[in-house]
Chains A and B, each alone.
Chain A
C-alpha cells in the first residue's frame, strides 16, 4: 500500500498552529524553537531547541507537538533536541514580535531593554527586576502610564 507523506510545507503549517504553552498568543514557529523538519524514510523527525535549559514548558511543548502531529495522522514521529546553536531571541519572527506587543509583552530588543511601553507606547521606562514570571521574561514599568509589564529578554 502506498501512503502519501504530507509535504514538509504542510507539516510546518501544522506546527505554525501550535501555540506556546506559556504565551499562547504566539506559536512555536513564531518563537523560532522548531529548528528542522525532515522525513527519515517514513519517520517524521522534528528538531526542537529549548529556550532556557530549565524551562518547564519544554516538556509540554514536546507533548503539544506530538499531539498536534498525531492528530494530523502522523504515526512515526521522532523529536530531537538540539542544544547548539543555542536558541536566541533573534530567531523570533517579526509576526511573533508584533503579536507579543499587542498581547502586552514588550518584544526582545538588541539594546537589552524594551523599546517602548506595550500599552501607551511611551519610551519612559524603568527596570523593576531582571527576572519575571517565566525564565524568558524580565519586569519593567512605564513611568508615564505607571503600568508594570513583562519584557521578553534578549538572549
Chain B
C-alpha cells in the first residue's frame, strides 16, 4: 500500500486483528441464531452457511491476533473468555436480528463495507493479513451478492416487505458511519501499509448502497449521524452483553471444557 512504512506496535496490530475477527464473530453468531427459525428452508440454509463462513473467518483472524499478542491465547480463548468491554466489533453487527428484513439489511450494510475492506487488505504489507483477506473476500463476494439480491427483492416486493425493509434501513443507518471513522489504531495501520484509511472506502460504499436502494425503492435517511464506540470498545450497546451470555455460557460454566 504505502512505500514508506512504519512498523505498528504489537498492541495496535492485536487491536486491529480483534476488530476484524470480532466483526465476523459477533455477526456470525447473530446470523446463526436464525438456524431452525428462518422463514423458508432455503433461507435457513443460506443464513447458516453465511454464519459458518463468518465463524471460519473469525478463526483465521483471532488465531493471528493470538499469535501477535503472544500471551498464550488462541482464537477460542479470545472468543469465549473475553468480556463485553474487550470486544472490538462494530455496533452494527451486534444489533439484534429483529425480523428477517432487519437481518438482511444489517447483512447488506456490513457486506458492502466488508468486501471493500477485504479487497484493500489483499494489498496489505502483512502477508498473513493479505492471505486471510484473499480467502475471506471470495466468501464475502458471495454474501454481498445474495444480500443485494434479497434487499432489492424485498424492498421492491410487496407493501408489507417494503415497509419492513424501509423500517430496517431507518433503524440501522445510524450504525453505518462507524465503519468509516479512523482512530489511532487505524492511523497506525495506514502508516504501516497494513490496512486502508477507513474514510477512503466511503465513496465507493455510498455509490453501491445508493444504487441498491434505488433499485429496491428504499429511501436512505437524510441524517448521517453515526453511533460510535463499538470498534474502540468504549460504548457497546446493551445487546452485546446479552448475546455473549448465550455465546459464552458453556466456557463460563465449564471453563476450558473441550469436545
Contacts and interface: CB of A to CB of B under 8 A. Distances in A.
Interface string A52-89: 11111000000000000000000000000001111000
Contacts, number: 66
Interface in B107-140: 127, 130-132, 134-136, 138-139
B134 A132 contact: no
A49 to B, nearest CB: 9
Contacts of B55: 54
B53 interface: yes
Contact of B57 (A53, A85, A153, A155): A53
A7 interface: no
Interface string A126-155: 001111110100010000000000000101
Contacts of B53: 52-54, 135
Contacts of B163: none
What is the interface residue range for chain B against chain A? 20 to 34
A128 B49 CA distance: 15
Contact of A139 (B42, B52, B59): B42
Nearest to B46: A131
A53 B20 CA distance: 15
Nearest to A139: B42
B134 A86 contact: yes
Q: Which of B55, B60, B138 has the most CB of A within 10 A?
A: B138
Nearest to B53: A54
Contact of A83 (B46, B50, B131, B149): B131
Interface on chain B toward A: helix, strand, loop, or mixed SS? helix
Contact of A131 (B49, B132, B135): B49
Contact of B131 (A54, A84, A128, A155): A84
Contacts of B52: 52, 54-56, 135
A131 B42 contact: yes
B197 to A, nearest CB: 24
B138 A135 contact: no
A53 B139 contact: yes
Contacts of B131: 83-84, 86
Contacts of B135: 50, 53, 83-84, 86
Nearest to A137: B49
Interface in B76-90: none
A129 B60 contact: no
Considering residues A85, A130, A135, which has the most beta carbons from chain B within 10 angstroms of its beta carbon? A130
A79 B20 CA distance: 26
Given A84-B130, A84-B131, A130 B56 contact: no
B146 interface: yes
A86 B135 CA distance: 5
B42 A53 contact: no
A53 B146 contact: no
A125 B135 CA distance: 30
B46 A53 contact: no
Nearest to B28: A54
A53 B136 contact: yes
6 contacts: A52-B52, A53-B56, A54-B59, A84-B131, A86-B131, A131-B46
Interface of B: 42-43, 45-46, 49-50, 52-57, 59-60, 127, 130-132, 134-136, 138-139, 142, 145-146, 149
Given A52-B56, A54-B53, A130-B145, 4 more contacts: A83-B134, A84-B135, A86-B135, A155-B142
